[in-house]
Amino acid sequence: MDQINHYFIRVLRQEYGQFNGTVRREAYWMFMLITFIGSLCVALIAGFLGLYLLNALYALALFIPILGMSVRRLRDVGLSVWWILLGLIPVIGEIMVLLLCALPSGYADKHLKIKRIKK
């Protein structure tokens, strides 16, 4: 229960719409895992009760935190936040964003020939 509080509830309370900064790989993946498990539970409950709008409301409520976590994770990898737009491509784009978020911290700065735009 302490893990859920640390990785999920804290993000929803304190970092709901935060797009600045970075997030470590462990925190990102734990948040995504808890979100996925919660989504499965909500889908099962919605299916049994016939309240299909419940699943859509859950997804809508978590859209901003997931987007914020993904943006901060891409920044931690060393990529531009504009790479999040790959997620607009159905299936393949979403998988690409997840793969980019799986890279270690600072990976792009060390291994990729992608130049960052600095202000």
Every domain of the chain and the residues it spans: 2-111
d(CA 40, CA 61): 15
d(CA 49, CA 100): 37
CB 28 within 8 A of CB 73: yes
d(CA 43, CA 56): 9
Query: Considering the entire predicted model, what is its pTM?
Result: 0.81
What digits encode the pLDDT tens for the residues 16-68?
A: 888 999 999 999 999 999 999 999 999 999 989 988 899 999 999 999 999 99
What digits encode the pLDDT tens for the residues 86-103?
A: 989 999 999 999 999 998
d(CA 94, CA 88): 7
CA 118, 72, 53, 43 torsion-angle sign: positive
Residue whose token pair is 């049994």: 48
Residue 17 CB contacts under 8 Å (≥ 6 apart), including other chains: 64, 65, 68
